């Protein structure tokens, strides 16, 4: 049944041996309970042992001559598979046309994200954290091949060459493809610190040959997403969720639902009422037939306008909520006398609206669980699943599939939809697969939004018009359950406009109420970059300076050579300062997020008061460019994502109910609105930084700045279209 992807399917719950702790490949297993056992090891107790090849957990070379890169990072469109495969292939000198990529099983000890300590894809870290690790994996495998050939041919290893998956000894004319040397190579111990190439030796990385491996499968309907999983005996479930956040089931009548042909069971789970059926449409009809009474005593019943009014009041400091000081320097209390620039921003709740609505397939058999889905933070999904089932995280096996988009949605720290599916599969039991399907409406009204936020900014400038004192008050729900709410003002203290001020005061108020918030592509950078980049254009105007020159001066003073370089490159390629046709204006913005710096110049005009963007010229410094074409793709896609949000997106609550639940009321940018996005990559040999997110946050302020240039009007809320609805 499950042969659609043409891949052999693993048996339902497989245990290829238990991995007790972090060690892999022979004799290093720690004894559980010893003092050295750390959190990672505990999480991994019972975890599926990776398919260990002689070449370690990241590389497999098979007799058919193919090299399989086992990727610990999830592919959700951002190109993580191709970038990491290229690192291995480069150092291995593999034949790039015979390299494929496979998702790693869930195993925190082996496959953790080195910058997070858990198995997770996010924060645009895939390329950066794997840079040394995956190149080393390739280099170690290459060294083993070389040693195997040297031993077999009785020649010096130093005389051996490797190219396109073929090992050769020019002196004797002997050659062998990898496949021929497999047995001999498997007997060689992997070197611990193999020699890595220097960037000038790269023949694959940084070239246009680094192209996606999945384009064919994704262009023929063959790519297997969670939505496409078909397993023997599988049931499909939908869940009736409360109409407001914080509401719960009071009572329900499932009699009519049970009468729907194909409905198998109806029961309550913590998040609502589950309807389980033999196929999707039966589950939907069953759910439509449910009668549920909701208890809304503790529900959030306010509308977006009320929340924003409350936020504005909170920001004045007159309410009960106390702020956290995120950064303070100089004497801000005395710094704001005389003429002060002041503005405020209201930024909406945003839904991720990934093209594939959230979904999951779970099988529960006692204390053993198998999940087949596009897991983005496997470690967290394992822990949350284990809590729901009453088992160990390592007993939760995950087969990670490609995601039909995520933009952070599948990285929810509550594993909301995953746990929901697990509860249903637990009730069904017996290892029977249950696929949870969310409709678009379920997906859009389930929360995990980019937080609604309000900002008040005061800037006192010096005689030349440059920031001397900067006060930044933010109000937004926190993304993390503990710690300071730094995301609300992400990176603000290091933004040169703020860092140059002598007196700085950054405070955040973090109201708590039941609307769930989460990471949305580029996270806090969407707010910080919007606010600071639009403020800076207004300050430039006040000072009578060209916005690019004004920024340059600040970057020079602050020694920010990276911002300076992308600004100059973007301005030069965009023809900054050259006249445009009547009615058009350019807007500029610069932003750093996740270690990557982006500058964009947008050409904008207003039609019936609505911005139309025709061209966006961008420059990006993401360190060494591993996959240049994918960097361009992420700039194109990130810009579309950011522009879509800036033009249209806002999740609106009416009496606590989400009122826009599908694409008719939450419009997404369409092809006729897509600007031409040009990407210029700054040459660099620095360690690569991420690209999945930094393309998103710069376009909104670039458009706002173009509107400012066209009309003299400042933007104080987003989205640009229908902004009045929230204010």
Assign 3-class secondary structure to 320-345.
CCCCEEEEEECCHHHCCCCCCEEEEE
- Out of 195, 215, 295, 367, which residue is the one contacting another protein (CB under 8 A)? 215
CB of 47 to another protein, least distance (A): 27
Q: Among residues 222 and 329, whose Cβ is nearest to ligand FES?
A: 222
Sign of CA dihedral 133, 128, 398, 44: positive
CB of 410 to another protein, least distance (A): 11
Site for another protein in 25-64 (CB under 8 A): none
Q: Among residues 368 and 409, whose Cβ is nearest to another protein?
A: 409
Phi, psi angles (nearest 5°) of residue 70: -95, 110
Phi, psi angles (nearest 5°) of residue 256: -65, -35
Binding status of residue 77 toward ligand FES by CB under 6 A: yes
CB of 420 to ligand FES, least distance (A): 22
Sign of CA dihedral 503, 494, 717, 484: negative
CB of 260 to another protein, least distance (A): 9
Around Cβ 562, how many Cβ atoms within 10 Å? 19
Around Cβ 612, how many Cβ atoms within 10 Å? 16
CB of 602 to another protein, least distance (A): 15
Among another protein, ligand FES, none, residue 297 binds (CB under 5-8 Å by kind): none
Residue 231: strand, helix, or coil: coil
- Out of 164, 175, 207, 280, which residue is the one contacting another protein (CB under 8 A)? 280
Q: Among residues 513 and 663, whose Cβ is nearest to another protein?
A: 663
Q: Among residues 627 and 707, whose Cβ is nearest to another protein?
A: 627
- Out of 78, 108, 304, 522, which residue is the one contacting another protein (CB under 8 A)? 78
CB of 445 to another protein, least distance (A): 14
Phi-psi region of 271 (alpha: psi -120 to 50; beta: other; left: phi over 0): alpha
Using the contact rule CB under 8 A, the part of the chain among 224-232, 416-424, 592-600, 650-658 near another protein is 224-232
Binding status of residue 216 toward ligand FES by CB under 6 A: no
From start to end of 555-624, where are the E strands? 584-593, 596-607, 610-621
CB of 494 to another protein, least distance (A): 28
Report which DSSP code applies to 612.
E
CB of 99 to another protein, least distance (A): 16
CB of 77 to ligand FES, least distance (A): 5
CB of 124 to another protein, least distance (A): 15
The residue to which tokens 């002689």 are assigned? 54
- Out of 56, 286, 405, 524, which residue is the one contacting another protein (CB under 8 A)? 405
Q: Among residues 356 and 505, whose Cβ is nearest to another protein?
A: 356
Among ligand FES, another protein, none, residue 164 binds (CB under 5-8 Å by kind): none
Q: Among residues 220 and 337, whose Cβ is nearest to another protein?
A: 220
Site for another protein in 498-517 (CB under 8 A): none
CB of 403 to ligand FES, least distance (A): 9
Phi-psi region of 408 (alpha: psi -120 to 50; beta: other; left: phi over 0): left
CA distances from 106 to 28, 70, 73, 116, 234 (A): 19, 12, 10, 15, 22
- Out of 68, 125, 129, 402, which residue is the one contacting another protein (CB under 8 A)? 402
Binding status of residue 691 toward another protein by CB under 8 A: no
Give the pairing of strands 584-593 and 596-607: antiparallel
Binding status of residue 355 toward ligand FES by CB under 6 A: yes
Q: Among residues 96 and 407, whose Cβ is nearest to ligand FES?
A: 407
Map residues 391-430 to x or -, x wherever contact with ligand FES holds by CB under 6 A.
--------------x-------------------------
Among ligand FES, another protein, none, residue 212 binds (CB under 5-8 Å by kind): another protein
Among ligand FES, another protein, none, residue 534 binds (CB under 5-8 Å by kind): none
d(CA 223, CA 214): 8
CB of 399 to another protein, least distance (A): 16
Q: Which residues of 446-482 are buried (b: 16+ CB within 10 A; e: fewer)?
A: bbbbbbbbbbbbbbbbeeebbbbbbbbbbbbbbbeee
Using the contact rule CB under 8 A, the part of the chain among 30-38, 220-228, 298-306, 601-609 near another protein is 220-228
Q: Among residues 599 and 691, whose Cβ is nearest to another protein?
A: 691
> Which two structure tokens, joined as six digits, stand for 251?
């009572």
| Count of residues in the chain | 727
Q: Among residues 214 and 655, whose Cβ is nearest to ligand FES?
A: 214
Are the C-beta atoms of residues 653 and 307 closer than 8 Å to each other?
A: yes
Are the C-beta atoms of residues 573 and 619 closer than 8 Å to each other?
A: yes
Strand order in the sheet with 263-269: 263-269, 272-277, 235-240, 434-437, 359-365, 368-373, 396-400
Are the C-beta atoms of residues 496 and 470 closer than 8 Å to each other?
A: no
**Rounded to an integer, what is the distance from CA 175 to the centroid of its chain?**
44
Binding status of residue 451 toward ligand FES by CB under 6 A: no
Among ligand FES, another protein, none, residue 35 binds (CB under 5-8 Å by kind): none
Binding status of residue 692 toward ligand FES by CB under 6 A: no
Give the pairing of strands 657-658 and 653-654: antiparallel
Tell me the CA end-to-end span of the chain in Å, nearest whole number: 53
Strand order in the sheet with 99-103: 59-61, 67-71, 99-103
Binding status of residue 664 toward another protein by CB under 8 A: yes
Contact set with another protein (CB under 8 A)? 1, 4, 76-79, 211-212, 214-225, 227-228, 230, 236, 261, 279-281, 285, 353-357, 402-407, 437, 439-440, 629-630, 633, 636-641, 644, 662-664, 668-672, 674, 676-677
Interface with ligand FES (CB under 6 A): 77, 355, 405
């Amino acid at each position: 049944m499950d042969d659609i992807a043409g891949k052999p399917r693993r048996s339902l719950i497989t245990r290829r041996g238990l991995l007790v702790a972090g060690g892999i490949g022979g004799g290093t297993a720690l004894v559980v309970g010893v003092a050295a056992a750390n959190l990672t090891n505990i999480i991994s107790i019972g975890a599926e042992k990776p398919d260990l090849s002689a070449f370690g957990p990241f590389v497999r070379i098979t007799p058919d001559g193919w090299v399989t890169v086992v990727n610990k990072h999830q592919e959700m469109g951002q190109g993580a598979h191709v970038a990491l495969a290229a690192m291995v292939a480069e150092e291995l000198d593999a034949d790039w046309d015979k390299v494929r990529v496979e998702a790693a099983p869930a195993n925190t000890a082996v496959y953790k994200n080195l910058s997070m300590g858990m198995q997770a894809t996010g924060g645009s870290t895939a390329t950066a954290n794997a840079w040394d690790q995956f190149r080393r994996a390739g280099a170690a495998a290459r060294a083993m091949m070389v040693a195997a050939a040297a031993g077999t041919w009785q020649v010096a290893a130093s005389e051996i060459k490797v190219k396109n998956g073929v090992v050769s000894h020019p002196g004797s004319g002997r050659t062998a493809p990898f496949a021929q040397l497999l047995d001999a190579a498997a007997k060689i111990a992997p070197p611990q610190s193999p020699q890595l190439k220097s960037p000038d030796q790269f023949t694959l990385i940084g070239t246009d040959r680094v192209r996606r491996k999945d384009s064919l499968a994704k262009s023929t309907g063959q790519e297997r997403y969670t939505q496409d999983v078909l397993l023997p005996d599988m049931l499909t479930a939908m869940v009736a969720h409360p109409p407001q956040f914080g509401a719960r089931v009071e009572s329900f009548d499932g009699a009519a639902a049970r009468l729907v042909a194909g409905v198998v069971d109806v029961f309550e789970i913590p998040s609502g009422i589950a309807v389980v059926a033999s196929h999707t449409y039966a589950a939907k009809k069953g759910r439509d037939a449910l009668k549920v009474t909701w208890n809304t005593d503790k529900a959030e019943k306010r509308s977006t306008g009320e929340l924003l009014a409350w936020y504005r009041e909170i920001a004045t400091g007159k309410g009960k909520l106390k702020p956290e000081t995120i950064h303070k320097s100089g004497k801000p209390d005395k710094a704001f006398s005389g003429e002060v620039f002041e503005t405020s921003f209201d930024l909406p709740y945003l839904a991720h609206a990934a093209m594939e609505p959230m979904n999951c397939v779970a099988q529960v058999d006692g204390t053993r669980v198998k999940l087949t889905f596009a897991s983005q933070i496997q470690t967290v999904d394992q822990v949350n699943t284990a809590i729901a089932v009453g088992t160990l995280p390592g007993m939760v096996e995950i087969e990670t599939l490609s995601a039909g988009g995520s933009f952070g949605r599948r990285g929810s720290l509550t594993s909301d939809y995953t746990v929901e599916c697990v509860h249903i599969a637990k009730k069904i039991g017996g290892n029977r697969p249950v696929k949870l399907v969310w409709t678009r409406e379920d997906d859009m009204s389930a929360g995990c939004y980019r937080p609604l936020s309000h900002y008040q900014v005061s800037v006192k400038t010096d005689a030349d018009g440059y920031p001397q004192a900067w006060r930044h008050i933010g109000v937004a729900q926190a993304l993390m359950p503990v710690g300071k709410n730094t995301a609300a003002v992400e990176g603000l203290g290091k933004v040169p406009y703020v860092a140059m001020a002598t007196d700085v005061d950054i405070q955040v108020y973090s109201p708590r109420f039941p609307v769930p918030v989460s990471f949305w592509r580029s996270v806090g950078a969407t707010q910080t970059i919007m606010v600071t980049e639009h403020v800076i254009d207004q300050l430039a105007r006040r000072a009578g300076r060209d916005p690019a020159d004004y920024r340059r001066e600040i970057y020079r003073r602050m020694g920010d050579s990276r911002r300076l370089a992308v600004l100059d490159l973007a301005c030069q390629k965009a023809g900054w300062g050259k006249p445009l046709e009547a009615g058009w204006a350019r807007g500029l913005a610069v932003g750093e997020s996740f270690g990557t710096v982006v500058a964009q110049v947008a050409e904008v005009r207003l039609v019936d008061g609505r911005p139309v963007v025709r061209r966006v010229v961008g420059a990006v410094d993401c360190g060494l460019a591993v996959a240049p074409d994918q960097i361009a793709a992420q700039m194109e896609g990130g810009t579309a994502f950011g522009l879509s949000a800036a033009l249209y997106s806002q999740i609106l609550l009416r009496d606590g109910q989400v009122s826009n639940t599908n694409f008719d009321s939450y419009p997404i940018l369409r092809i006729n609105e897509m600007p031409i996005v040009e990407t210029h990559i700054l040459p660099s040999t620095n360690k690569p930084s991420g690209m999945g997110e930094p393309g998103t946050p710069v376009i909104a302020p670039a458009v706002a700045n173009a509107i400012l240039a066209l009309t003299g009007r400042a933007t104080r809320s987003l989205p640009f279209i229908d902004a009045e609805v929230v204010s």
